[in-house]
Amino acid sequence: MLFLPFDPIFLIMVLPAFAFSLWARHRVTSSFKKYSQQYTQNRMTGADAAREVLRRSGVSNISIEQVQGTLTDYFDPRTNVIRLSESVYGSPSVAAVGVAAHEAGHALQYASGYIPMRLRAAIIPATNIGSNLSVPLILFGLIFNMTGLIDLGILLFGAVVVFQLITLPVEFNASRRAVSVLGESALLTADELPGAKRVLSAAALTYVGALAVSLMTLLRFVLLSRGRR
């Protein structure tokens, strides 16, 4: 996050969004910790839940692997692999089942050709370039008063914002798919399902927070650019 001395735009616009993002991260961590202590009656682990969600949805070409870390879970569409963290893969908790089912939801999106999922994957190269080069270009442009560099940096940072904007429906839809299968198939009981929903809702807020920070940062860059003109 670019910080300039005596920058009121940062204090008014970006800092509140950043504070919300930090709160959202704390909430997902605390929710996951809470429901990691509530075990499923059927003792289904996260890996079991992901397999069941895929099987009941008719998707069979997805592998499930364990990776190190906590909440490092993700679906890799390039290799058709769901990678679940150590705290999810073998845990029979409500939190683990919810997170694993969510990642399986991403696999279902990809298998069904869900347009936002495909679109997000298509713009990843531009997003990577934008995330790495945008801020340095804007910084150099501001220091040396080169409006062309500032404009290019803002354009590249805009790609990051678009990526995060597309990510929101992808994440919410994956959670809806997960909750639907978990409930309709009785993989979680009526007492357990609300806990999984809370974990996934808290996780969704982290994406809202990231988008808010990026939007406010982009607007800040635009205002700084106009101020230089």
The single residue listed with the structure tokens 């429901």 is 35
103 classed as catalytic = yes
- 156: which residues sit within 8 A by CB, 6+ positions away? 126, 129, 130, 133, 134, 137
- 74: which residues sit within 8 A by CB, 6+ positions away? 82, 83, 103, 106
Q: Which of 103, 171, 184, 192 is catalytic?
A: 103
CA distances, 165 to each of 29, 118, 196 (Å): 23, 14, 24
Answer whether 4's CB lies under 8 Å from 10's CB.
Answer: yes
The single residue listed with the structure tokens 């995330």 is 131
Q: To which H or E segment does residue 67 belong?
A: strand 63-67
Residues classed as catalytic? 103
